[in-house]
Structure 1
Amino acid sequence: MATMSQTWTIFTVVIGLKYPEKSCAIWSSHGPVVQRGTSFTVYCTFNCKCKGSMYSDHPPTLQSHNVFNSTTIYFNVTNITKNRTYSCRCKCPSPLDPCGLDISAGYLLERPENISCIYKVKDNESGVVSCTWNRGRDTFLRNSSKLCVRTVSKSHADTEFNVSSRGTDFPSASFTVTSSVQLISVWVLAQNPLGSQVSIPINYTLSDIAMPSTPALGQPECSSRECIVKVELPVKAQHLEIQYRTEAQTWTSSPDSGVQMSSVQVRSISSLEPYMLYHFRARSKFSSGLWSQWSANISSWTQEEAPAKELDVWYAELTSDSKSRVYWKELNISTARGKIIEYNVSVYSQNSGLVFVNKESISADARDYSVPFCTDCEVTVWARNSKGLSPPARIKTHHTKAKSTQFVPPQDVVRQVTADNHSVTISWRKHDTAPLHSAYVLEWYPEGHKLEELRWIRLGRKDNHAVITDIKPCECYEGAVYVLNNESSVSRTRFTVSTLESAPEVGPSVQETIEGNKVKVTWTEIPTGQRGGCVTNYTIYLENDSGELRQSHAIPASKRMHTIKDLSPASYSLWMTASTAKGEGPECQKVKFFIQRDPTIPPTSVCSRRPDRVVSGVCVPMFSIKAEVCEQQLWVYFQCVMLDDVPDPANSKWAQQCTQEKGKMNLQLPPSNSSVTEEEEEPILVDVEELPKQSSDICTLTLSPQTSRSPESELATLAYPLTTYIKSFSHDSDSSDHTQTSLDTNTTVGYISSHGPENMDEEYQEEEEEEFVEMLGFFPSHNIFTEPLEFGGKLTLNTVKIDCSDIFQNS
């Protein structure tokens, strides 16, 4: 008894743990499952006297309940739309668990409809019937359905059975029938907690829904135009359909020639293309019923044939290395008819009949060939596969300009960029008078990369536009539109095009080379990615050391060198910019250089072209503090003394005064003035007295000042040897206002000053003499007088005629 008592105690404890005592009981006026949109009441009765409360959902939310009596409360639920949970709580003297209730809300079932059944014949003995149907809308409740079947056979009574459905979204059921069954009737029974529904029965004749099993294909055996396909049929069928296609085509059905008695059917698929990968599939059907499912795809290649079409060939002339380059496009798979293993090239001279290249073999990866540059050479290109050569493609390496007016270049070439900025439409005005066999070729390539990226399109005579694609933004493309006549006569119109164009991002890289008084400027192209499009021109700016902009030069975009001439000695700064149609880019880094004077050029000499003012042929040295400036202009001044027509000096005023009194010349010295004037309006008259000849190398001049200022200013007799040359400044000439006599470096030099010798500082005279001696180093040391200078008899200009031509012998 003790043992049994212990057992009951343990059982009581276990029961207490498994089913704890609740503090209340909860229920619904419509049960735990209700239809959506329904209103009902939830009641809660407590097991002890306490103040209870009602909650809803998770986490629990306190609801405003109503009191039914001292132990029961209730809550009215209105128009429920989803599953809900309700619970009640109260504080009893002993701790008890709250009570709860789950309410499921859903819809009534709809009647199943659209029942469809297929009879899949496995063999001649049996088959499987598979049916599907539409269960209707979702009820949000647990549903169940089953298929009810009644069969009618030739020798058996009706049989009924049920098949459970599989799946909830698309329910279906399958069952096996023998070959003796002829008719079936099927319907669906569906249920959920709110009720049940039954579909309308559907009757089938099995021969109407019979479907053969899926055929199996063997590996096809193919020639270049035909494939033999073997099909294995699990059951005998009356119809067989085979379809084929390439990767880029749609399915094509072969003609149905009927099914033979054998379970393995052989079909020939013809009208195929050479060297194509074809995919095949098959299906079968009884005399009535449904087509079987498609078999798995089987693939096979047709064999090769020789290429069917000539290559698309174009050319580019390379004048730099006296060669041309011929290009060709790869044949597409339909025209290649096989794998291209090589290309053959021949070069033939039509005029001389010489064959420069005879079917040279080129790699299958090549797309161009360099040939000698000649005006009458014809290049022929073939493509070869394992079965033979393509038709020949011929082109001349140098197109001659057409003489006929029918082949004028295309007019009004227009570039129109598309909205996506990755393609450009090139259009032109065509000529209706062009012959029927003429054609257009449009070529284009990135600027400067014609050999690497040349592309082209061939068009008919009626075409007047073409779209070119794969245009990179902000990159310049060059191109041309050609009109051809039998690949021989050609005219063309060039163009440039760019998309998303902008001003250049940088300036060109500049390098200068100084050559005397000129500078040669060379520059390199801006990197492709920084040009912003097509460069229209370059601009060179030149600035002197004082910051003054001296020159600007606009240079065409095709040039890479420019020479700036006739620059004076000075310091300069030079820089460049590049421009596109959208504007001028930034300056490049400035380059500084210096133009030096040429030390080999002697000081400048000028000869007056006015014979009425100075002695003809007398050269006057020009002395300046900045000798280098004068020397730069030396050649300009020297040209004046090398005249083709020398004016007659006999008409000058000086010559007329010399003839008034034989052997004398009056040089009037004006009164001395403290300040030196640069211009003298009155001539200086000097009396020249002829003296007996003392020597062949010495002559004497008597100078008589008009007014004597001091004993030192009295008449002086100067004896001097022949000088290297005499340079005279006439007061009325355009050159200067002073008269000076310059001597050899080994002679005593005397100056005739219009201001009087007494006003010249000794210091100033010594400095001037030293300067004069130093300046003589610029002049030639040989004698410029063709005859000794003698003053005998009447003074004429023939006597003092000077030949200055020797001065320029070493210039």
Structure 2
Amino acid sequence: MWKDYAVACGEEVTCIKMFSQWSWSVQAMCTLLSIFSFSVSDGLVKMCGYILPEAPVVLPFGSNFTAFCILNDHCSSNVKIHANQIIWKTKNVLVPKEQYHVINQTVSSVTFNDISMLPSPLTCNVLVAGTIEQNIYGIEIQLGFPPEKPKNLSCIVIQTQPNRFIQTCTWELGRDTFLNTNYSLKSKWPDGTLHHCIPQKTKNVCNSSTVVFFVYLEVWVEAKNELGEVESDHIAFDPLYRVKPLPPSNLSVNSGELPTVLKLTWINRLDKQPLVLKYKIRYKTVDSTSWTEVPPEDTDSQRTSFTIQELKPYTKYVFQLRCAINFAQIEYRGNEYEGYWSDWSEEVVGFTAEAKPSKGPAVWRKISTHSPGNWTLELTWKELEPSEANGVILGYEVSVSGRPPLSFPVKVYSHVNATKLILNVHNGTYEVRVTAYNSAGKSPTSVLLVSATNSKAPVKDVVAFPKDGKLWVNWTAPREFVSKYIIEWYEECDSSDCSTEWQQEPGMKHSAFLKGDIKPRKCYTITVIPLYANGQGEGKSTQAYLQQDVPLNGPTVQTKKVGKFEAVLEWKPLSVEEQNGFIKYYTITYNTVTGNKTVVIVNASQTEYPLSSLSSDTLYTVQMAAYTEKGGRNGPQFTFTTKKFGEGEIEAIVVPVCLAFLAFTLLGVLFCFSKRDIIKKHIWPNVPDPSKSVIAQWSPQTPSKQFNSKEQIYPEGSFTDVSVVEIEADDKKSLSEPDLKLFDLLKKEKNASEGHSSGIGGSSCMSSPRQSVSDSDEGEPAQNTSSTVQYSTVVPNGYRDQTPPVQVFSRSESTQPLLDSEERPEDQQVLGSDNSTPKRNYFKQNGNWDEAVTDGSHLEKVKQISPINEEDTAGLYDSQMCGSSSEGNEQGVVLPGAFHSSPEGPPMQFEPIRMNTVTDGEMPKCYLPQTVRQGGYMPQ
């Protein structure tokens, strides 16, 4: 089938001519079949072209490369494919046509100037029918380097068993070739025999089990790949000089009688004549990391044991051993060779024997005074280090003796198992000796002089700081010779249980590390005390941290004092546990709700700070932070409000106001006191006490008469208020005898009723006080100007032309002030002399007459009354009468008179009084009327 298409399309019939009428797709199919046509007879595929150079192509990095695509004759003649139709691709990426070159109709080339980045594969393709791409041929390209010359070729003969050796050679490969490179180790014997060794696991190591001693070999390495071939430098050696023996076996340690000596023994595994071995021995203590080696000149001879000296007693040691061939002792051209050392043997451990302690324990004391002249002496000493104890310490021997002037006997404590001894002694100077002992003997004696006073020179400039993870203490030594120093230190804490540690240093030192368990972020107080042969100096102290950190908490601030424009803040220093370091400074941050923050830096020694230039009556927020060298931490926030008024402002306002008010009040009181009569007259008038009136017992000599309800003597709400005129003594003289009789009668009535109140009931109107009739002519002048108010109803004992036998006045002489309503009593009723129908005569100020008096003769009689002094009658004219409720009184009338004189006496004349009428709708404010009956007034 494929042949029919091939013949039809290519060999016997011209495809293009026969199928000129076919579509372009059919033509493309014919072209493809022509390209891939093959001969069935020979079974080989006839490709349309190929590429030179043939695959695989190996090229070095950075080189130039040119490839040629050659079309076969049948493709170019039958299929009509031209070389200009060829396109090149690298890994399906089209190569720019600028790199193409058409040599002829069947050959096209492509050139690459640098193939370092050339991807593989490289393919040659043609375009069928102008658009369809068809691959013709492709090649794989490998990039790499030629092998470099191997360097540093060396060979060693390793002993694997007592009589078995392996020769191992190694070399350096050089750079990677990125290609398959083969290496080969070649050895040439003196007779010309050549041996090859091919590396197995790695390309730079080759092992050979054929080892011959006392023969010189020439050895080199060859390297080869597709880009080249190279070999290393040639070396010549005798395998004997390359031997690395096995380490000695069965190593053991034996301790002798001496506590500083140990003996090592072993077995050599290289025993081949004339070979001679040399050794290296090293050892260390179990807890050490550094080794100590035996000098090589002591171990350069063949042996199987060695004794190590100058070891520490009662110490655990670790030993190791290795060996090598000693060419210096071989008579065979080997003096210039060093040889190879074997590996170190396994470790072996040994103990040295006990010895007497090499040093006495360090001794110190603590003195407590509980009573005058007595001490509690606490002696303490340090346990010896293992290197100093040289064995197991079984106990201590302590002796205490007093120095003069003390007569303290020597006390010896032979077997003390603890490191502390407490004694009760007298105040003084003591010498303490302490000795430690083990099974081998006693240690040197340690002596401590316990002095009563620190009289010697102290050290100076004590400083402490962290160094190499420890606290380093440095001080300046005194000028005098110091036998030793005691360094005390304790951790600062808020509780009283702060244990003190100490250590002893030699007198020639002036610095030391603290040997205790020093913790970070803890403050330590360190004291250095110099000890002399005959006393001790005063201790000097300093404080230090091994490691500082930010404070655990910030300070808690509060206000100590708050003013209008200032405030004083105070805080408590942080506790030692909270500090975590030395406090360098504080910061105070304060602000209002809307204001900017203000930061103030405060010295670490301060515990309070004043804030100024604040705003009055303002809320402030304050926060404080403490800082160490590692940073700071804020404390809790605190708020306060400034005062609205400053100190003294309220007093400056209130005191003047109070003084002014007090002065005003005082002036008012003085003014009122000076005007007390006027004030009393207007505010506190004399009001009569009706319960003390005797008017009910005073009976006018008038016949009783029954009245009907229509002709009531005292209509409801009406009575007469009569003012009584006081008559002075001088005025009496001017009166006629009838007038004097009338005056005496009035005086008798007044005296009879003195001390009693009027019988008038009800409320009275307020009125000014009236002048009263004097009780005597000249005996009581004070009463002439008194404010006694007398009021009553004047009842004449006759009516009109009838003359009553006696003029009677109904009155009250109470000294109590009148109410306003009492000064305006209601209308009073006056009865006629014949006890007939009562005639209502109202005598009051601004009052009304209920019934007008029409009898002209009576009016004339009244007018003919002898005149009275105007001053005496002023009260009558000024008095006010309560309004009458009787009917018909609408206009004021003239009161012709209130008194009727007897026929014998001269008439008493009064000025007419104008009265006002009161309407029926008004409520009169006055006393209720009193009914006059025969025998006196009837009380309400």
Q: Corresponding residue for 1:37?
A: 62
Instruction: Give the structure with the larger strand fraction.
Output: 1
Q: CA-atom RMSD, angstroms?
A: 5.2
User: Partner letter of residue 85 of structure 1?
Assistant: S
Q: Corresponding residue for 1:439?
A: 484
Q: Deviations over 1:97-147 (max 9, x none)?
A: 886533222233333344323345678977443333344443332221212
Q: Corresponding residue for 1:371?
A: 422
Q: Corresponding residue for 1:133?
A: 171
Q: Corresponding residue for 1:765?
A: none
Q: Deviations over 1:67-90 (max 9, x none)?
A: 636776543222233674134366
Native 8 Å contact 2:279 2:322 kept in 1: yes
Q: CA 1:136 to 1:534, structure 2 compared with 1: closer, same or farther past 3 Å?
A: closer
Q: Deviations over 1:238-287 (max 9, x none)?
A: 23313122143334135546656xxx823223332231322221203143
Report the identity percentage. 20
Q: CA 1:38 to 1:172, structure 2 compared with 1: closer, same or farther past 3 Å?
A: same
Matched, 1:252 2:293: yes
Displacement of 1:188 in angstroms is 2.4
* Greater C-alpha radius of gyration: 2
Native 8 Å contact 1:146 1:165 kept in 2: yes
Displacement of 1:176 in angstroms is 0.9
Q: Among residues 312, 315, 330, which one is paired with 1:273 in the alignment? A: 312
- Secondary structure of the residue that 1:334 maps to in structure 2? helix
Q: CA 1:471 to 1:177, structure 2 compared with 1: closer, same or farther past 3 Å?
A: closer
Q: Deviations over 1:164-183 (max 9, x none)?
A: 1346563334241345x522
Q: Within 5 Å, which residues of 2 pair with 1:387-406?
A: 387=440, 390-395=443-448, 398-403=450-455
Q: Deviations over 1:429-471 (max 9, x none)?
A: 4332x13x53333322212489765344544545445565986
Q: Corresponding residue for 1:359?
A: 415
User: Partner letter of residue 477 of structure 2?
Assistant: K
Tell me the TM-score normalised to structure 2 length: 0.45
Q: Corresponding residue for 2:95?
A: 63
Q: Within 5 Å, which residues of 2 pair with 1:750-765?
A: none
Matched, 1:528 2:555: no
Q: Among residues 358, 377, 384, which one is paired with 1:308 in the alignment? A: 358
- Secondary structure of the residue that 2:148 maps to in structure 1? coil
Q: Corresponding residue for 2:342?
A: 293
Q: Deviations over 1:365-403 (max 9, x none)?
A: xxx63624545566655556665554444445x543244
Q: CA 1:96 to 1:534, structure 2 compared with 1: closer, same or farther past 3 Å?
A: closer
User: Partner letter of residue 268 of structure 1?
Assistant: T
Q: Corresponding residue for 2:323?
A: 283
Q: CA 1:585 to 1:36, structure 2 compared with 1: closer, same or farther past 3 Å?
A: closer
Q: Corresponding residue for 2:686?
A: none
- Secondary structure of the residue that 1:176 maps to in structure 2? coil
User: Partner letter of residue 342 of structure 2?
Assistant: Q
Q: Corresponding residue for 2:457?
A: 408
Q: Among residues 520, 523, 534, which one is paired with 1:476 in the alignment? A: 523
Q: CA 1:39 to 1:309, structure 2 compared with 1: closer, same or farther past 3 Å?
A: same
Q: CA 1:127 to 1:314, structure 2 compared with 1: closer, same or farther past 3 Å?
A: same
Q: Corresponding residue for 2:255?
A: 222
Displacement of 1:36 in angstroms is 2.1
Q: Among residues 491, 494, 500, which one is paired with 1:454 in the alignment? A: 500
Native 8 Å contact 2:551 2:628 kept in 1: yes
- Secondary structure of the residue that 1:400 maps to in structure 2? coil
User: Partner letter of residue 345 of structure 2?
Assistant: A
User: Partner letter of residue 457 of structure 2?
Assistant: V
User: Partner letter of residue 361 of structure 1?
Assistant: N
Q: CA 1:417 to 1:259, structure 2 compared with 1: closer, same or farther past 3 Å?
A: closer
CA distance in 2, matches of 1:532, 1:213: 59
Native 8 Å contact 1:415 1:427 kept in 2: yes
Q: CA 1:258 to 1:507, structure 2 compared with 1: closer, same or farther past 3 Å?
A: closer
Q: Among residues 180, 199, 211, which one is paired with 1:142 in the alignment? A: 180
Q: Which moved more, 1:486-495 or 1:526-535?
A: 526-535
CA distance in 2, matches of 1:584, 1:77: 70
Native 8 Å contact 1:504 1:533 kept in 2: no
Q: Deviations over 1:33-58 (max 9, x none)?
A: 1122210123456888696654435x
Displacement of 1:300 in angstroms is 1.0
User: Partner letter of residue 481 of structure 1?
Assistant: V
Native 8 Å contact 2:397 2:414 kept in 1: yes
Matched, 1:164 2:198: yes
Q: Which moved more, 1:264-273 or 1:86-95?
A: 86-95
Matched, 1:496 2:530: no
Q: CA 1:211 to 1:483, structure 2 compared with 1: closer, same or farther past 3 Å?
A: closer
- Secondary structure of the residue that 2:140 maps to in structure 1? strand
- Secondary structure of the residue that 1:401 maps to in structure 2? coil
CA distance in 1, matches of 2:137, 2:389: 84
Q: Corresponding residue for 2:931?
A: none
Native 8 Å contact 2:217 2:236 kept in 1: yes
CA distance in 2, matches of 1:581, 1:209: 65
CA distance in 2, matches of 1:524, 1:304: 61
CA distance in 1, matches of 2:472, 2:485: 15
Gaps of 5+ in 1: 1-14, 363-367, 511-522, 537-556, 558-576, 591-672, 677-811
Q: Within 5 Å, which residues of 2 pair with 1:578-657?
A: none
Gaps of 5+ in 2: 1-39, 559-570, 585-604, 606-623, 640-668, 673-940
Q: CA 1:75 to 1:140, structure 2 compared with 1: closer, same or farther past 3 Å?
A: same
Native 8 Å contact 1:126 1:178 kept in 2: no
Q: Corresponding residue for 1:781?
A: none
CA distance in 1, matches of 2:217, 2:289: 45
Q: Among residues 388, 393, 400, which one is paired with 1:348 in the alignment? A: 400
Tell me the TM-score normalised to structure 1 length: 0.51
Displacement of 1:482 in angstroms is 1.1
CA distance in 2, matches of 1:427, 1:267: 46
Q: CA 1:304 to 1:21, structure 2 compared with 1: closer, same or farther past 3 Å?
A: farther
Structure of greater relative contact order (alpha carbons < 8 Å, 6+ residues apart): 2
- Secondary structure of the residue that 2:282 maps to in structure 1? strand
CA distance in 1, matches of 2:316, 2:62: 65
Q: Corresponding residue for 1:191?
A: 224
Q: CA 1:189 to 1:579, structure 2 compared with 1: closer, same or farther past 3 Å?
A: closer
- Secondary structure of the residue that 1:529 maps to in structure 2? helix
Q: Corresponding residue for 1:176?
A: 210
Q: CA 1:251 to 1:125, structure 2 compared with 1: closer, same or farther past 3 Å?
A: same
- Secondary structure of the residue that 1:409 maps to in structure 2? coil
Native 8 Å contact 1:507 1:588 kept in 2: no
